[in-house]
Amino acid sequence: MRRRTAAMRHDPVPPPADCGDAYCHLPQLRERIAPASTSALRVTPQVMALWDQRALAQGQGADWRLCDAQLEATRLALLGPLDEGEDLWVFGYGSLMWDPGIHFSELRLAELPRHRRRFSHRTEMGRGSPECPGLMLSLEPGEGGCTGLAFRIDAALAEHESALLWRREMLRGIYSPQLLPVRTPQGEVRALVFAANAAHADHVGELPLRDTAAVIARASGVLGSNRHYLEQLVRQLEHLGLRDDYLHRLLLQVQALDAEPTTARP
């Protein structure tokens, strides 16, 4: 990251009292984040059933995802039964930044040290297909830090909302969920972070930028195109006055492919 808001460059200050407005720290995002009530990624049992139907229609087996019991076991293994008085923070660095699919009470700019965004997981669903697989964004270990958003879920809702979020992020076990410290202008918090699971069969690691761009330029699935995802993410970061050099260079590479003759593309 080259640019960060001025507040992110200073030492943390004590968090202010709850202002009662989830967007009090970032009012510019008020119209740029989908409410949970309209989110297509709020994975209720009904949404999960629809995804199961789609997977079967694609020829996926019944084991295409972790079963409900496995999902709940992995959630409890990290979070345990959440304390009644303990809020849950969630770090968003990709689609969570515009469609978190959860009810949250506070939103902050946040930086996760020693991690960086990379399109490092192969996917045949969502924004890819069996005929034309796409690439999913993840967090890989590396120098510097990743700036995104931190969402605070009230303690009274944390158990329910984290279960919905878990179905979305841990469906196939491609992430390694962790509780990590993230820096915010209002002070450091410990947040739930979905980082890359390098042991997963769909993990391809960091590919050459041109190869990554070639996949993203053409892949598409039931949730839309890989390219649109990248464009949405870059726009959301720009709206916050941020620039991720990897994403910026990747988008330029995708756009450059438009100018090439079709026969010259991979």
Q: What pLDDT was estimated at residue 206? A: 97
Whether 140 is covered by a domain: the verdict is yes
Distance (Å, rounded) from C-alpha 29 to C-alpha 193? 21
Whether 39 is covered by a domain: the verdict is yes
pLDDT tens readout for residues 177-215: 999 999 999 999 999 999 999 999 999 999 999 999 999
Whether 8 is covered by a domain: the verdict is no
CATH number of residue 110's parent domain: 3.10.490.10
CB 205 within 8 A of CB 198: yes
Q: What pLDDT was estimated at residue 16? A: 43
Among all residues, which ones are annotated catalytic? Answer: 169
Residue with tokens 């991979």: 266
Whether 77 is covered by a domain: the verdict is yes
Distance (Å, rounded) from C-alpha 101 to C-alpha 46? 14
Whether 105 is covered by a domain: the verdict is yes
Residues of 132-171 as b/e, b for ≥16 C-beta within 10 angstroms? ebbbbbbbbeeeebbbbbbbbbeeebbbebbbbbbbbbbb
Ranges of the chain with pLDDT below 70: 1-18, 83-84, 261-266
Please give the C-alpha separations between residue 242 and each of 4, 51, 52, 185, 217, in angstroms, as whole numbers.
6, 34, 37, 15, 23
Whether 120 is covered by a domain: the verdict is yes
| Structural domain total, the chain | 1
For 227, the domain range is 18-259
Q: What pLDDT was estimated at residue 141? A: 96
Whether 102 is covered by a domain: the verdict is yes
Whether 264 is covered by a domain: the verdict is no
Distance (Å, rounded) from C-alpha 266 to C-alpha 219? 13
Q: What pLDDT was estimated at residue 3? A: 37
